[in-house]
Amino acid sequence: MFRYLIRRLFQAALTVFGVLTVAFFLVRLSGDPLALLLPEVATAEDIEELRAALGLDRPLWVQYTIFMTNAVQGDFGYSLRLQVPALSLVLERLPATLELALTSFVLGITLAFTGALAMRLSGSPRLRAILLWAAFIRQAIPVFWFGLLMIIVFSVTLRWLPSVGRGSIEHLILPVLTLSTFEIALYLRLLDAAFGEQERQDYVRTAYAKGQTRLQVVLRHMLPNALLPLVTIAGINLGILLGGTVVTETVFSWPGMGRLIVQAVTQRDYPVILAGVVVASFLFIAINFIVDMLYGFLDPRIRLK
Protein backbone atom coordinates (compact mmCIF):
# COMPACT_ATOMS: atom_id res chain seq x y z
CA MET A 1 0.00 0.00 0.00
CA PHE A 2 2.82 2.40 0.88
CA ARG A 3 4.60 1.71 -2.40
CA TYR A 4 1.35 2.32 -4.26
CA LEU A 5 0.87 5.67 -2.53
CA ILE A 6 4.42 6.73 -3.40
CA ARG A 7 3.90 5.69 -7.02
CA ARG A 8 0.63 7.59 -7.27
CA LEU A 9 2.17 10.71 -5.73
CA PHE A 10 5.00 10.52 -8.23
CA GLN A 11 2.52 10.15 -11.10
CA ALA A 12 0.53 13.08 -9.74
CA ALA A 13 3.65 15.24 -9.63
CA LEU A 14 4.48 14.34 -13.24
CA THR A 15 0.92 15.13 -14.29
CA VAL A 16 0.99 18.54 -12.64
CA PHE A 17 4.39 19.23 -14.20
CA GLY A 18 3.02 18.36 -17.63
CA VAL A 19 -0.10 20.45 -17.11
CA LEU A 20 1.97 23.45 -16.02
CA THR A 21 4.32 23.11 -18.99
CA VAL A 22 1.56 22.79 -21.59
CA ALA A 23 -0.48 25.61 -20.04
CA PHE A 24 2.54 27.94 -19.88
CA PHE A 25 3.30 27.63 -23.58
CA LEU A 26 -0.32 27.57 -24.75
CA VAL A 27 -1.29 30.81 -23.03
CA ARG A 28 1.61 32.52 -24.80
CA LEU A 29 -0.03 31.67 -28.11
CA SER A 30 -3.11 33.76 -27.28
CA GLY A 31 -1.31 37.03 -28.01
CA ASP A 32 0.48 39.87 -26.28
CA PRO A 33 -1.28 40.91 -23.03
CA LEU A 34 0.15 44.42 -23.37
CA ALA A 35 -2.32 45.04 -26.19
CA LEU A 36 -5.11 44.83 -23.61
CA LEU A 37 -3.33 46.44 -20.67
CA LEU A 38 -2.27 49.63 -22.41
CA PRO A 39 -4.44 52.20 -24.19
CA GLU A 40 -4.21 52.65 -27.93
CA VAL A 41 -2.32 55.94 -27.50
CA ALA A 42 0.54 54.25 -25.62
CA THR A 43 3.96 54.91 -27.09
CA ALA A 44 6.60 52.32 -27.91
CA GLU A 45 8.54 53.42 -24.83
CA ASP A 46 5.49 52.79 -22.62
CA ILE A 47 5.05 49.32 -24.10
CA GLU A 48 8.70 48.34 -23.58
CA GLU A 49 8.71 49.75 -20.05
CA LEU A 50 5.66 47.69 -19.05
CA ARG A 51 7.05 44.62 -20.83
CA ALA A 52 10.24 44.86 -18.76
CA ALA A 53 8.28 45.44 -15.55
CA LEU A 54 6.26 42.26 -16.16
CA GLY A 55 9.31 40.24 -17.15
CA LEU A 56 7.93 39.57 -20.63
CA ASP A 57 11.05 40.92 -22.31
CA ARG A 58 13.14 37.95 -21.17
CA PRO A 59 13.68 34.84 -23.35
CA LEU A 60 10.85 32.33 -23.18
CA TRP A 61 12.99 29.64 -21.54
CA VAL A 62 13.98 32.11 -18.80
CA GLN A 63 10.32 32.98 -18.19
CA TYR A 64 9.51 29.25 -18.04
CA THR A 65 12.30 28.51 -15.55
CA ILE A 66 11.25 31.36 -13.29
CA PHE A 67 7.62 30.34 -13.53
CA MET A 68 8.28 26.68 -12.63
CA THR A 69 10.54 27.66 -9.73
CA ASN A 70 7.88 29.96 -8.30
CA ALA A 71 5.05 27.50 -9.01
CA VAL A 72 6.71 24.84 -6.85
CA GLN A 73 6.46 27.35 -3.99
CA GLY A 74 2.82 28.12 -4.76
CA ASP A 75 3.63 31.49 -6.27
CA PHE A 76 2.01 32.13 -9.65
CA GLY A 77 2.61 35.84 -9.62
CA TYR A 78 0.14 38.71 -9.60
CA SER A 79 -2.86 39.15 -11.82
CA LEU A 80 -1.91 41.45 -14.68
CA ARG A 81 -5.35 43.07 -14.56
CA LEU A 82 -6.17 43.27 -10.84
CA GLN A 83 -2.66 43.31 -9.34
CA VAL A 84 -3.48 40.77 -6.62
CA PRO A 85 -1.91 37.30 -6.11
CA ALA A 86 -3.30 35.03 -8.84
CA LEU A 87 -3.59 31.96 -6.62
CA SER A 88 -5.53 33.81 -3.93
CA LEU A 89 -7.88 35.14 -6.61
CA VAL A 90 -8.58 31.60 -7.85
CA LEU A 91 -8.98 30.18 -4.34
CA GLU A 92 -11.41 32.98 -3.54
CA ARG A 93 -13.66 31.78 -6.38
CA LEU A 94 -13.17 28.07 -5.64
CA PRO A 95 -15.92 27.74 -2.96
CA ALA A 96 -18.56 28.90 -5.45
CA THR A 97 -17.43 26.30 -7.99
CA LEU A 98 -17.32 23.57 -5.33
CA GLU A 99 -20.82 24.48 -4.20
CA LEU A 100 -22.21 24.29 -7.72
CA ALA A 101 -20.29 21.21 -8.86
CA LEU A 102 -20.74 19.08 -5.74
CA THR A 103 -24.45 19.86 -5.42
CA SER A 104 -25.00 19.05 -9.08
CA PHE A 105 -22.98 15.86 -8.80
CA VAL A 106 -24.86 14.58 -5.75
CA LEU A 107 -28.25 15.41 -7.24
CA GLY A 108 -27.40 13.80 -10.59
CA ILE A 109 -26.12 10.59 -8.98
CA THR A 110 -29.14 10.46 -6.67
CA LEU A 111 -31.64 10.84 -9.51
CA ALA A 112 -29.88 8.25 -11.66
CA PHE A 113 -29.49 5.84 -8.75
CA THR A 114 -33.17 6.17 -7.84
CA GLY A 115 -34.25 5.65 -11.44
CA ALA A 116 -32.01 2.59 -11.89
CA LEU A 117 -33.31 0.97 -8.71
CA ALA A 118 -36.90 1.70 -9.74
CA MET A 119 -36.30 0.05 -13.12
CA ARG A 120 -34.65 -3.00 -11.60
CA LEU A 121 -37.05 -3.51 -8.69
CA SER A 122 -40.21 -2.98 -10.72
CA GLY A 123 -39.05 -5.00 -13.73
CA SER A 124 -41.32 -2.84 -15.90
CA PRO A 125 -40.11 -2.42 -19.52
CA ARG A 126 -42.39 0.61 -19.91
CA LEU A 127 -40.87 2.41 -16.89
CA ARG A 128 -37.39 1.59 -18.17
CA ALA A 129 -38.18 3.00 -21.61
CA ILE A 130 -39.73 6.18 -20.19
CA LEU A 131 -36.79 6.92 -17.88
CA LEU A 132 -34.12 6.19 -20.47
CA TRP A 133 -35.79 8.20 -23.23
CA ALA A 134 -36.34 11.15 -20.88
CA ALA A 135 -32.66 11.04 -19.91
CA PHE A 136 -31.54 10.78 -23.57
CA ILE A 137 -33.68 13.74 -24.58
CA ARG A 138 -32.18 15.84 -21.81
CA GLN A 139 -28.64 14.85 -22.76
CA ALA A 140 -29.32 15.81 -26.39
CA ILE A 141 -29.87 19.43 -25.30
CA PRO A 142 -26.60 21.38 -24.88
CA VAL A 143 -25.91 22.71 -21.39
CA PHE A 144 -25.92 26.37 -22.41
CA TRP A 145 -29.19 26.00 -24.33
CA PHE A 146 -30.90 24.13 -21.52
CA GLY A 147 -29.73 26.81 -19.07
CA LEU A 148 -31.20 29.54 -21.25
CA LEU A 149 -34.49 27.62 -21.47
CA MET A 150 -34.58 27.33 -17.69
CA ILE A 151 -34.05 31.07 -17.36
CA ILE A 152 -36.79 31.86 -19.91
CA VAL A 153 -39.32 29.55 -18.24
CA PHE A 154 -38.65 29.95 -14.51
CA SER A 155 -37.15 33.43 -14.33
CA VAL A 156 -38.61 35.45 -17.19
CA THR A 157 -42.03 33.83 -17.71
CA LEU A 158 -42.99 32.47 -14.30
CA ARG A 159 -40.70 34.73 -12.24
CA TRP A 160 -40.21 32.02 -9.65
CA LEU A 161 -36.43 31.94 -9.45
CA PRO A 162 -33.54 34.38 -9.95
CA SER A 163 -31.65 33.95 -13.20
CA VAL A 164 -28.13 35.12 -12.33
CA GLY A 165 -25.76 35.53 -9.42
CA ARG A 166 -25.05 33.63 -6.23
CA GLY A 167 -26.65 34.13 -2.85
CA SER A 168 -29.57 32.15 -1.49
CA ILE A 169 -30.58 28.57 -2.26
CA GLU A 170 -32.93 29.94 -4.91
CA HIS A 171 -29.93 31.14 -6.93
CA LEU A 172 -28.56 27.59 -6.88
CA ILE A 173 -31.63 25.77 -8.22
CA LEU A 174 -31.45 26.59 -11.93
CA PRO A 175 -27.69 26.06 -12.48
CA VAL A 176 -27.78 22.84 -10.41
CA LEU A 177 -30.69 21.44 -12.41
CA THR A 178 -28.89 22.37 -15.63
CA LEU A 179 -25.72 20.53 -14.65
CA SER A 180 -27.13 17.59 -12.71
CA THR A 181 -29.59 16.42 -15.36
CA PHE A 182 -27.03 16.36 -18.19
CA GLU A 183 -25.19 13.18 -17.09
CA ILE A 184 -28.23 11.21 -15.88
CA ALA A 185 -28.47 9.28 -19.17
CA LEU A 186 -24.88 8.06 -18.82
CA TYR A 187 -25.36 7.00 -15.21
CA LEU A 188 -28.66 5.26 -15.97
CA ARG A 189 -27.19 3.27 -18.85
CA LEU A 190 -24.19 2.22 -16.79
CA LEU A 191 -26.28 1.10 -13.84
CA ASP A 192 -28.85 -0.61 -16.03
CA ALA A 193 -26.16 -2.53 -17.94
CA ALA A 194 -24.31 -3.40 -14.72
CA PHE A 195 -27.47 -4.68 -13.03
CA GLY A 196 -28.34 -6.70 -16.14
CA GLU A 197 -24.90 -8.31 -16.16
CA GLN A 198 -25.01 -9.13 -12.45
CA GLU A 199 -28.48 -10.63 -12.70
CA ARG A 200 -27.11 -13.36 -14.98
CA GLN A 201 -24.48 -14.41 -12.45
CA ASP A 202 -24.70 -17.66 -10.50
CA TYR A 203 -24.66 -15.98 -7.09
CA VAL A 204 -27.89 -14.13 -7.94
CA ARG A 205 -29.68 -17.34 -8.87
CA THR A 206 -28.37 -18.91 -5.67
CA ALA A 207 -29.71 -16.01 -3.62
CA TYR A 208 -33.13 -16.38 -5.20
CA ALA A 209 -32.99 -20.14 -4.58
CA LYS A 210 -32.42 -19.47 -0.90
CA GLY A 211 -35.72 -17.60 -0.77
CA GLN A 212 -34.43 -14.03 -0.65
CA THR A 213 -36.70 -11.32 -2.01
CA ARG A 214 -35.92 -9.25 -5.09
CA LEU A 215 -35.22 -6.21 -2.89
CA GLN A 216 -32.70 -8.17 -0.80
CA VAL A 217 -30.95 -9.60 -3.84
CA VAL A 218 -30.68 -6.23 -5.59
CA LEU A 219 -29.51 -4.19 -2.60
CA ARG A 220 -27.38 -6.74 -0.78
CA HIS A 221 -25.79 -8.73 -3.60
CA MET A 222 -26.09 -6.98 -6.95
CA LEU A 223 -25.63 -3.35 -5.93
CA PRO A 224 -22.00 -3.49 -4.64
CA ASN A 225 -20.80 -5.10 -7.88
CA ALA A 226 -22.94 -2.86 -10.07
CA LEU A 227 -21.43 0.25 -8.49
CA LEU A 228 -17.88 -0.43 -9.73
CA PRO A 229 -18.24 0.98 -13.28
CA LEU A 230 -20.34 3.86 -11.94
CA VAL A 231 -17.61 4.85 -9.47
CA THR A 232 -15.07 5.19 -12.28
CA ILE A 233 -17.26 7.32 -14.55
CA ALA A 234 -18.67 9.35 -11.66
CA GLY A 235 -15.17 10.17 -10.44
CA ILE A 236 -14.13 11.38 -13.90
CA ASN A 237 -17.31 13.42 -14.27
CA LEU A 238 -16.85 15.01 -10.86
CA GLY A 239 -13.36 16.10 -11.87
CA ILE A 240 -14.76 17.54 -15.09
CA LEU A 241 -17.48 19.35 -13.15
CA LEU A 242 -14.99 20.90 -10.72
CA GLY A 243 -12.78 22.15 -13.52
CA GLY A 244 -15.30 22.60 -16.30
CA THR A 245 -18.40 24.42 -15.08
CA VAL A 246 -17.40 27.27 -17.38
CA VAL A 247 -20.50 27.25 -19.58
CA THR A 248 -22.98 27.05 -16.72
CA GLU A 249 -21.17 29.69 -14.68
CA THR A 250 -21.17 32.00 -17.71
CA VAL A 251 -24.87 31.48 -18.51
CA PHE A 252 -25.96 32.10 -14.91
CA SER A 253 -23.22 34.66 -14.06
CA TRP A 254 -22.10 32.36 -11.27
CA PRO A 255 -18.96 33.83 -9.64
CA GLY A 256 -16.91 30.64 -9.77
CA MET A 257 -13.44 29.60 -10.82
CA GLY A 258 -14.47 28.64 -14.36
CA ARG A 259 -15.92 32.07 -15.12
CA LEU A 260 -12.80 33.69 -13.68
CA ILE A 261 -10.56 31.64 -15.98
CA VAL A 262 -12.68 32.53 -19.02
CA GLN A 263 -12.36 36.21 -18.17
CA ALA A 264 -8.61 35.76 -17.66
CA VAL A 265 -8.31 34.14 -21.10
CA THR A 266 -10.09 37.01 -22.82
CA GLN A 267 -7.88 39.47 -20.92
CA ARG A 268 -4.70 37.38 -21.46
CA ASP A 269 -4.08 37.37 -17.74
CA TYR A 270 -1.42 34.64 -17.74
CA PRO A 271 -0.92 34.21 -13.97
CA VAL A 272 -4.64 33.74 -13.29
CA ILE A 273 -4.99 31.23 -16.14
CA LEU A 274 -2.05 29.17 -14.90
CA ALA A 275 -3.18 29.27 -11.26
CA GLY A 276 -6.66 28.15 -12.26
CA VAL A 277 -5.34 25.30 -14.40
CA VAL A 278 -3.13 24.05 -11.57
CA VAL A 279 -5.95 24.14 -9.01
CA ALA A 280 -8.27 22.28 -11.41
CA SER A 281 -5.61 19.63 -12.10
CA PHE A 282 -4.99 19.13 -8.37
CA LEU A 283 -8.71 18.58 -7.84
CA PHE A 284 -8.87 16.08 -10.68
CA ILE A 285 -5.87 14.13 -9.39
CA ALA A 286 -7.27 14.05 -5.86
CA ILE A 287 -10.61 12.72 -7.12
CA ASN A 288 -8.90 9.96 -9.12
CA PHE A 289 -6.98 8.93 -6.02
CA ILE A 290 -10.20 8.75 -3.98
CA VAL A 291 -11.82 6.64 -6.73
CA ASP A 292 -8.95 4.13 -6.53
CA MET A 293 -9.43 3.87 -2.77
CA LEU A 294 -13.17 3.33 -3.22
CA TYR A 295 -12.46 0.47 -5.61
CA GLY A 296 -10.66 -1.40 -2.87
CA PHE A 297 -13.51 -0.74 -0.47
CA LEU A 298 -16.24 -1.91 -2.84
CA ASP A 299 -14.42 -4.98 -4.15
CA PRO A 300 -12.05 -6.77 -1.73
CA ARG A 301 -10.58 -8.70 -4.67
CA ILE A 302 -8.77 -5.64 -5.94
CA ARG A 303 -7.61 -4.20 -2.63
CA LEU A 304 -4.06 -3.00 -2.74
CA LYS A 305 -1.39 -4.77 -0.72
Residue 182 has pLDDT above 70, yes or no: yes
What pLDDT is attached to residue 32?
63
Tell me whether residue 56 is in a domain: no
Residues in Cβ contact with 164 at an 8 Å cutoff, skipping those fewer than 6 apart: 252, 253, 254
Q: What is the pTM of this model?
A: 0.75
Tell me whether residue 55 is in a domain: no
Q: How confident is the model at residue 7 (pLDDT cuts 50, 70, 90)?
A: confident
Percent of the chain with pLDDT over 70: 87
Q: What is the mean pLDDT of residues 124-131?
A: 87
Number of domains into which the chain is organized: 1
Q: How far apart are CA 264 and CA 279, in angstroms?
A: 15
Q: How far apart are CA 10 and CA 31, in angstroms?
A: 34
Q: How far apart are CA 247 and CA 184, in angstroms?
A: 18
Tell me whether residue 20 is in a domain: no
Residues in Cβ contact with 201 at an 8 Å cutoff, skipping those fewer than 6 apart: none
Tell me whether residue 74 is in a domain: no
Residue 258 has pLDDT above 70, yes or no: yes
Residue 300 has pLDDT above 70, yes or no: no
Q: Dump the DSSP string for 159-204.
A: --S--S--SSHHHHHHHHHHHHTTTHHHHHHHHHHHHHHHHTSHHH
Structural domain span for residue 288: 86-302
Tell me whether residue 229 is in a domain: yes
First to last CA, the chain: 5
Tell me whether residue 240 is in a domain: yes
Tell me whether residue 58 is in a domain: no
Residue 51 has pLDDT above 80, yes or no: no
Residue 261 has pLDDT above 80, yes or no: yes
Residue 54 has pLDDT above 80, yes or no: no
- The domain that holds 175 is classified in CATH as 1.10.3720.10
